[in-house]
Every structure is written in C-alpha cells, then in structure tokens.
Amino acid sequence: MKIIGIGRNYSEHAKELNHALPAEPIVFLKPDTALLRGNAPFYYPEFSQDIHHEVEVVVKICKEGKYIQEKFAHKYYEEIALGIDFTARDLQKKAQEQGLPWTLAKGFNGSAPISEFISKQGLSLHQLPFSLHVNGTLRQTGNTEQMVFSIDYLIAYVSQFITLKTGDYLFTGTPPGVASVKPGDRLQAYLQDRCMLDFEVR
C-alpha cells in the first residue's frame, strides 16, 4: 500500500508557513514504514530538532481506479480516520531552499500515526470538524469545509497520475496551528467529539 499526502490544502495553514495557495494540489508520498497504528508511541528521531504535528483527515481507498472522475470519486472510499503527518520542518526547509524533494522530511519511520477507520456513513464529510490537543491544550482545529481542494477533487486529481489501489491512504492536509512536539508530549486527536488518536512522543 502507499500513503499519499497533500500539502497546503488549508489556506490558513499555507499562510502560517508563508506560502501562497497552490493552484494545483501539492502531492507527496510516504512509505508504508511511516505508519504507526494502535496508539503506538512516536519515538523522536535523532536527525531532526523540529518535528511538527499536522493533524489530518485520512481517507482509505476501497477500490482500484485511475482517471477517476470527480463525480464518481465518492465510490472509492467508505471509511475515514484521523492521522498525524509528522514533518521534520528543519529538513523540509532545507530541502525547499535547495529545491530538493521532501521525501526524508515527510517519510521517516513513524511519521504517519493513524487511528482506527470509521464508516463515512452518517458523517457530513464536507463539514467535518476535527482537532488536536497536546498535553490537554487545544493546538489545531479544522473543518473539512476549509479545504482548498475537496476529497473528491483530490482523488480525481491524483488518480490521473498514480493508480489508487484498495488499502491506500490519502492524507488530506492540515489546518493551521502546526507546532513542534517534544518527548513526553501526549497527542489526542478528535473527530467531532470523538477521541480517535491518543499517543505519546518518547
């Protein structure tokens, strides 16, 4: 399986990092070794001094497809989750300055903690609030209505280039409030009022 990430998909987050809004989705990949499941702890890596949390809605692809039309994209996912797109901001900045890929800044081991998936039935996906608390303090709040590119648009866009397969994950971008984590921090992510993720940084 593969993990597809989307950069700067919330305008307020793009602003906080001093980036312009993208005209087309910014797409990157993480390897499957980035996944952390079951609220496993995240071990702070030695190669970075600035790991940022990015809470995101994650969509699980349930059917193989390419050149998917936006109007049919909803048939390609049944379940959603919350995930953290951990980003080594120091490595990412360095790569950006040199015009180099983000691969190591985004794809390192444990950089994609993910919750259990829940059915999308009964959820209004176009207006879904979610949040991240660190040590009990609210750090990020978002709502899928603030996305620059909708979930269905992203699926249509990405599938022109990369075939989506059953079991692939799509991280749909983070709202504002990203900041550093440190060993000892406890991260809790909520979808509406439901705690989906609860794990520690060690």
> d(Cα 87, Cα 91) in Å, to the nearest integer?
8
Question: Which of 2, 1, 11, 9 lies closest to 172 in space, CA to CA?
Answer: 9
Nearer to Mg ion by C-beta: 65 or 81? 81
Binding range to Mg ion, per CB under 5 A, among 120-128, 133-141, 154-162, 166-174: 166-174
Nearer to Mg ion by C-beta: 64 or 103? 103
> d(Cα 74, Cα 186) in Å, to the nearest integer?
34
> d(Cα 88, Cα 101) in Å, to the nearest integer?
13
Q: Report 137-156 residues binding Mg ion (CB under 5 A).
A: none
Q: State in angstroms the smallest separation of the CB of 67 from Mg ion.
A: 25
Q: Report 81-140 residues binding Mg ion (CB under 5 A).
A: 85
Strand order in the sheet with 137-143: 137-143, 129-134, 186-191, 194-200
Nearer to Mg ion by C-beta: 65 or 107? 107
Q: Residue 6: exposed, middle, or buried by beta-carbon count in 10 A (0-12, 13-18, 19+)?
A: buried
Q: State in angstroms the smallest separation of the CB of 50 from Mg ion.
A: 15
> d(Cα 37, Cα 64) in Å, to the nearest integer?
23
Beta carbons of 84 and 55 less than 8 angstroms apart: yes
Q: Is 174 in the site for Mg ion (CB under 5 A)?
A: yes
Nearer to Mg ion by C-beta: 4 or 68? 4
Nearer to Mg ion by C-beta: 54 or 168? 54
Q: State in angstroms the smallest separation of the CB of 111 from Mg ion.
A: 10
Sole binder of Mg ion in the list 25, 54, 82, 132 (CB under 5 A): 54
Applying CB under 5 A, the site for Mg ion has a residue count of: 3
The residues binding Mg ion (CB under 5 A) are 54, 85, 174
